Amino acid sequence: MKRLIGLRHPSLCLGVWLACVPWLWPCSLAAHEPQYASAPVVTVKIAQSGEIVDPGTGATQNAEQQEVAGVLMMSAADSAPGVLEDELPPPLIKLIGLLYGGAVLRDVKSSDWAAWRDSFVERWGRKPGQERWEMQEVVLPEKQMGEIRDCMDELSLIRAVTASQKEYDYAVILGAPGPIMLSRMDWLASQWKQGVHFRQLVVLTGQRPLTPDIDRVPELMNELQERGDGQNLAGWSSSSHQPLHETELARLLLAAYSYPDGMEQVPVTVVDTPRKWQDGNWFRCHTGDTLQTWLRSCESPRPGSVLMVSSQPAAQYQKSVALRELPPGFSLDTIAEAAPKNISLAELLDSVSTWLRASGSKPPGVVSHRERAVATL
């Protein structure tokens, strides 16, 4: 199978491929870590029964069920024009009500968005340095969990998203643990088979050390071989071919994959973003870091249409980050395979947290995966 990998390397054997320096090194790197702010201090009344008293109505709410409701409720005396509830998508308002058991946003002002967002992230998001698979499961009554998942689907965090047009300048696959990265390649290939084409394939990844139980390299390669892929990778399991980090795994998957007719001729660029040394520890790169590396590299891309390949429930977060990072002149269309049916509620709520955090100084508006970068970005 003839394969063009990289802009300057028409053919490379896997051994040289994995051993060589990254094909695309940045001229400069401006990286950033997600910031988790402390919850704001809010005074609330507690009834003798141990229930939280709504300062607006005097009604009580169960404190055990709503352990952080006091963080989200503001005093009715502080209310003013510009209510946060009027600026959020209705499914998100419903989700918040299900999580906290009441209309906790009723008296929250638009100007309090940052404090409210940070308190939500602190409660439901990952802690600094924590991975999704390290989070504790969230257990709620079955009916409540079902309603929460319905809200997530309305927020386009569960359902599949397909391409809105047929031609793009770039298809950008975002790096991830091995099984997710392979599923993103499959989703993009399925779009190609339906007539969605692109001029260049870009894989944004980095030097995250692999976790055997999460990245599952042997299982991935066996799966590719069972379905007829990887015919040119005999001996991949030898020690010299074993990937050590996410970028190397991405290259291995690219070499082993059987592409639909025509897609194998598309030039491929692998963007390798290094880890960061901070406070005495190594931290892996995030979506924004890899986009910055690509955009600020020595071979920076020209403005054009971008088909970004994510997967649920990360599409809303990654779309928000891409809109923040892409300069004027780029258009963005995000596609994503549906979330697994057995996905944990903890991961779903973390996806909402990362999306809200990435939305910046203003609440997220109308849910859409098709946006155009404008001069204000």
- Give the count of beta carbons closer than 10 Å to the beta carbon of residue 69: 20
pLDDT of residue 132: 72
- In the structure, what pLDDT confidence band is assigned to residue 174 with cuts at 50, 70 and 90? very high
pTM: 0.70
Q: Which residues contact 332 (CB under 8 A, 6 or more apart)?
A: 306, 308, 319, 322, 323, 326, 370, 371, 372, 373
Average pLDDT score over the chain = 74
Residue 66 has pLDDT above 70, yes or no: no
Q: Confidence class of residue 365 from pLDDT cuts 50, 70 and 90?
A: low
Contacts of residue 41, Cβ cutoff 8 Å, sequence gap at least 6? none
φ, ψ dihedrals at 102, nearest 5°: 180, 180
Domain boundaries, the chain: 14-33+159-341+358-372, 45-154
Q: How many residues does the chain have?
A: 377
Contact (Cβ atoms closer than 8 angstroms) between residue 162 and residue 335: yes
Which comes out higher in pLDDT, residue 56 or 230?
230
Predicted confidence (pLDDT) at residue 376 exceeds the cutoff of 60:
no
pLDDT per residue over 100-141, tens digit each?
Answer: 876 666 667 777 788 888 888 888 888 777 777 777 788 788
DSSP secondary structure code for residue 324 in this structure: H
Q: Encoding tokens for residue 229?
A: 């892929």
pLDDT of residue 102: 65
